Structure 1
């Protein structure tokens, strides 16, 4: 049942970002890393479900942010994302409690000082794994992000392996 809902959310997001392969590629990659981290960290099925949905919709606010503010800055994504995520998820009959947590995560995924749960931590780590690559950040930036942001055993291992930071 959860797998079908995840597939439905993924397809809905692909439809939402029709014509924007960069955004589609981004959320698909963030989803893959978030799912991997959540599973390797032995989270419950429900926790993995929340993380997967949040990873798929985490940047849903970009479209409206670019229209309203002519910017995709994180603060605008956080402002515009929750209402769009709620609308999309309600059309897919996702449970209201899950929608509430996902909307919270969407509305905070660029705020790193108040990470209040493992789902939030994993979403941030997965997003960074993809953003470091997509933004072509130097190895020194990856190392700095590792120390400032990453907490999960799996996320740390992935970042260290991807950017050859084994001795850091």
Structure 2
């Protein structure tokens, strides 16, 4: 886990955030969910439509370019419900106060306390996108949102998230 140190009223806040779990095709799942709203084909068929060998009537190939276009359009339209078809989990070492602030920011965080300062935190992509677009400047929020670069790089790019922390 990477160590992050932030100034706080009590001195310094030390925090570690490690992304420990997410669906490997998270963005493909969300894009298939979006396209299935307007297609006669179910999402699972769209999800697997990856080459000219698997042609679906009236559909373009579901490649990275198509997925990126659908996700960017969903973000433009505020069509965030498609971003709920997943879960993302982190192991976090943080002060209990930081965890409580995070839980207050959204009711869709699930937290399990491992010991005094370590937590498993789970949510979905929609919550992270809403945090990224929000005004919450809490260090823990910034750390969680920064993991979008790994879990959902197309969405991170569309949100103009920095690719490396400074």
* Bucket of the pairwise TM-score, normalised by the shorter protein: 0.3 to 0.5
Between structure 1 and structure 2, the one with the greater Rg is 2
TM-score by length of 2: 0.33
The structure with more strand, counted as a fraction of residues: 2
TM-score by length of 1: 0.33
The structure with more helix, counted as a fraction of residues: 1
